C-alpha cells in the first residue's frame, strides 16, 4: 500500500477541470466516502488502484521515488509518453489527443497540440501490442462514422508515430490540410501509388494517390471501445 503522505498527486489531479471525488470513486468502484477517507489520510491506496486513479485523473502515477512533477498546465514536462514504476511494475503513460480522426470537420491547426490527458497502460501488456517505444505512441479519439464498422465514434486508437510511411496495408492517421483523418491505406507493389478508402461505403475512395502528397502521422496498432 501507499502511505497517506503520498497522496498529494491525487489532490493535484482532482484540482484539474472536470475531475471530482465522486468521479474518482466511480473509477475505483468504491463508495465516495472511501475517497474522502483517502484524502483525509484515513485510508491507504492499494497498489492495484494506482493505475486506475492515474487514468481517471489523466496524470502519471507516482514512481517509487515519489510523484512525477507536473508542469503549470497539469501535464508532465515534455508532454510525451513515458515509463513510470510503481510497486516493482512498469506502466506506460501515453498522451491522449482529441484530433477529430474522421472524414468530417476536425481542427488540427497546431503541429504541437496539447494532450487532453494521459492514459496509463501496463508496460508489459503494451509491449505485446506494439514494440514501438512509448515516446512514439499516442492515443487519438475517433469522431464521426467514416470508418464504421471498424472504428466507431468515441473509440480510442493507439498510433505508432514512427510509421511515417505506408508499408504494410492497414489503418493510418494522416494530415489533410487542417484535419487529421484515419483511413485504410493500401500500397500498389508495382507503382507505389496508394489507395485510400473508408470502411463506411457511404464515403469516397481515392485511387492512385502519390505517397509524397500525403503526410502520414502514424499507423493504428490498437483500438479501445466502450461497450
The 10s digit of each residue's pLDDT in 103-124 is 333 334 344 556 777 888 888 8
What's the CA gap between 117 and 74, in Å, rounded? 9
CA distances from 70 to 9, 75, 94, 164, 187 (A): 9, 5, 15, 30, 43
Instruction: Name the band, by pLDDT with cuts 50, 70 and 90, for residue 102.
Output: very low
pLDDT tier at 62, thresholds 50, 70, 90: low
pLDDT of residue 3: 41
Task: Look at residue 78 and tell me whether its pLDDT is greater than 60.
Answer: no
Is residue 12 domain-resident?
Answer: yes
In a domain, 105, yes or no: yes
Q: What is the reported pTM?
A: 0.61
- Mean pLDDT on 58-84: 52
pLDDT over 90 (residue 195): yes
Same domain, 26 and 128: no
Going through the chain in order, the beta strands assigned E by DSSP cover 82-86, 89-101, 117-122, 137-142, 156-160, 170-176, 179-187, 194-197, 206-209, 215-224
User: Is residue 3 domain-shared with residue 71, that is, in the same domain?
Assistant: yes
Q: In this structure, what CATH number is given to the domain that contains residue 134?
A: 2.10.109.10
Query: Which residues 6+ apart lie within 8 Å of 139 measured at CB?
Result: 94, 95, 96, 97, 119, 156, 157, 158, 159
pLDDT tens for each residue of 150-178: 999 889 999 998 888 998 999 998 876 66
Q: Are 92 and 2 part of one and the same domain?
A: no
> Are 17 and 50 in contact, with CB atoms under 8 Å apart?
no
129 and 220 within one domain: yes
Are both 107 and 191 inside the same structural domain?
Answer: yes
Output the domain CATH number for residue 53: 1.10.260.40
The per-residue pLDDT for 157 is: 93
> Could you tell me if 114 and 70 lie in one domain?
no
| Most confident listed range (36-40, 84-88, 115-119) | 36-40
Cell of 70: 507536473
Instruction: Say how far residue 16 (Cα) sits from the centre of its chain.
Output: 18
Q: Given pLDDT bands bounded at 50, 70 and 90, which one contains residue 179?
A: low
**Is 114 found in the same domain as 19?**
no
Cis peptide before 7 (omega within 30 of 0): no
The count of C-alpha atoms lying within 13 angstroms of the C-alpha of 200, restricted to the half-sphere facing its C-beta, is 16
76: number of Cβ within 10 Å: 19
- Range(s) of the domain holding residue 63: 1-76
Domain-embedded: residue 81: no
Percent of the chain with pLDDT over 70: 79
Amino acid at each position: 500500500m501507499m502511505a497517506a503522505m503520498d497522496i498529494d498527486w491525487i489532490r493535484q489531479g482532482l484540482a484539474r477541470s472536470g475531475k471530482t471525488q465522486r468521479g474518482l470513486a466511480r473509477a475505483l468502484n468504491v463508495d465516495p466516502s472511501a475517497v474522502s477517507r483517502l484524502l483525509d489520510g484515513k485510508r491507504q491506496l492499494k497498489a492495484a488502484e494506482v493505475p486506475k486513479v492515474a487514468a481517471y485523473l489523466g496524470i502519471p502515477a507516482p514512481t517509487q521515488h515519489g510523484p512525477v512533477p507536473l508542469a503549470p498546465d497539469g501535464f508532465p514536462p515534455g508532454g510525451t509518453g513515458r515509463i513510470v514504476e510503481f510497486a516493482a511494475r512498469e506502466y506506460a503513460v501515453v498522451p491522449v489527443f482529441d484530433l477529430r480522426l474522421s472524414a468530417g470537420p476536425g481542427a488540427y491547426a497546431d503541429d504541437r497540440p496539447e494532450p487532453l490527458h494521459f492514459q496509463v497502460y501496463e508496460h508489459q501488456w503494451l509491449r505485446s501490442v506494439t514494440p514501438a517505444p512509448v515516446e512514439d505512441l499516442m492515443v487519438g479519439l475517433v469522431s464521426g462514422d467514416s470508418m464504421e464498422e471498424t472504428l466507431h465514434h468515441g473509440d480510442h486508437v493507439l498510433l505508432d508515430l514512427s510509421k511515417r510511411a505506408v508499408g504494410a496495408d492497414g489503418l493510418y492517421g494522416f494530415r489533410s490540410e487542417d484535419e487529421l483523418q484515419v483511413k485504410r491505406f493500401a500500397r500498389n507493389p508495382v507503382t507505389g501509388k496508394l489507395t485510400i478508402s473508408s470502411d463506411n461505403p457511404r464515403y469516397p475512395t481515392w485511387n492512385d494517390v502519390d505517397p509524397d502528397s500525403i503526410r502520414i502521422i502514424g499507423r493504428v496498432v490498437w483500438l479501445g471501445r466502450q461497450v
